[in-house]
Amino acid sequence: MVNCSFCERKAVYVNHLNGRAYCKLHFTSYFERRVRRTIRKHRMLGEKEHIVVGVSGGKDSMSLLHILRKLSRKNKNWRLTALLVDEGIKGYRENTIPALKIYAERNMVEYKIVSFKDYLGLTLDEIVSTGREKGLPYLPCSYCGVFRRYVLNKAARELGGTVLATAHNLDDIVQTYLMNVINNSWDKIARLKPVADKGGHEGFVPRIKPFYEVLEKESAIYALVNGLVEPGYHQCPYAEYNIRFTIRKILNDLEEKYPGTKYGLLRSLEKIISLIENAQKTPVKPFGTCKICGEPSSHPICKACMYRFELGLLSPEESLRVKSVVNEHPNLRKLLARF
């Protein structure tokens, strides 16, 4: 075992970039300092906020909730509410929900649990099954990502949140960056910023990513040394269907052999975002309003409503409205070709 570089205690983490080892106490200080610096650097929080924290009960989100709770205790003008979305994945989410409940009740943190079933009428398992029966070409993670963002925004707004904090860490960001490079989705790359403002739509709750510059490994260690989660790893059963699963493994192998790979990719992303923004002749188009549900959307029909239409989850009136909007927009007509 290696000793801490700052005291004689046993180290729980070694940073291979600076060569320093950290015991539990000094690692906690190091990690929290980096998160506070990220929040200040990107001006994520104002003097008065109702911070809604998107929590899954896993290591990253529990770490984020813990740090923001500590910060909010020092700022009396900040209110904190934890928000958990239960997607409805049998054998998975029920293993993580107890972590939030125990923590929230022990530390007197407000929390709310909502579900896909509440907002969409089906669990994710039922959505995936329905999609397969209908022959739809989407992977489980496609449904989950779209509907999770949809429900998080609606629920955070209903709670009166002024900002929605998510626990996306550096690993998540660079994985998404590479996925979008592979798909040639440069418009999506331009959105991979640490802060997403209202985009001109009052219905959108601004997003912040306080873990934007910290590694997944670090947030996991922080959760474990602070007793925020039980040892062990609960992986979503649908993860293996996603290209992210493969990219994650490749990046971890590269980081092991060439420390700093992930940080290099993040700096590359930041530079590319700057180049994209400077190259744009007009400002980024603000959010419009989905003509079906009224939620913020960059298209006439939001992705959630497109999926709900294809899955048969809309009312007859809403479905007719979808067809009318699609007929008005030629770029959407390929959707109707399947129905």
- Return phi, psi of residue 35, to 5°: -70, -45
CA separation (Å) from 216 to 83, 221, 250, 287?
Answer: 21, 9, 15, 31
CA angle 14, 176, 304 (to 5 degrees): 135
For residue 305, say whether it is annotated as part of any ligand binding site.
yes
How many Cβ atoms sit within 10 Å of the Cβ of residue 315? 9
Q: Is 255 exposed, middle or buried (0-12, 13-18, 19+ CB in 10 A)?
A: buried
236 has binding-site annotation: no
Helix residue spans in the chain (DSSP H): 24-41, 59-74, 97-107, 116-120, 124-133, 140-158, 170-182, 186-189, 216-225, 243-257, 261-279, 303-311, 316-328, 333-336
Q: Which pair of tokens denotes residue 212?
A: 């934007």
Is 23 annotated to bind a ligand? Reply is: yes
Residue 7 marked ligand-binding: yes
Alpha-carbon dihedral angle through residues 236, 238, 239, 244, given to the nearest 10 degrees: -140
Cα separation, 38 vs 31, in Å, equals 11
Query: Long-range contacts for 276-281 (Cβ within 8 Å, ≥24 apart)?
Result: 276/186, 276/189, 276/190, 277/190
Helices 59-74, 24-41: axis angle to 10 degrees equals 70
* 3-state class (DSSP) for residue 43: coil
- 26 annotated as a binding-site residue: yes
**Does the annotation place 141 within a ligand binding site?**
no
* Maximum Cα–Cα distance across the chain: 70
Does residue 144 have a known ligand-binding role? Answer: no
16 marked among binding-site residues: no
Query: What gap in Å lies between CA 160 and CA 164, rounded to an integer?
Result: 10
Tell me the binding residues for Zn(2+): 4, 7, 23, 26, 290, 293, 302, 305
Tell me the binding residues: 4, 7, 23, 26, 290, 293, 302, 305
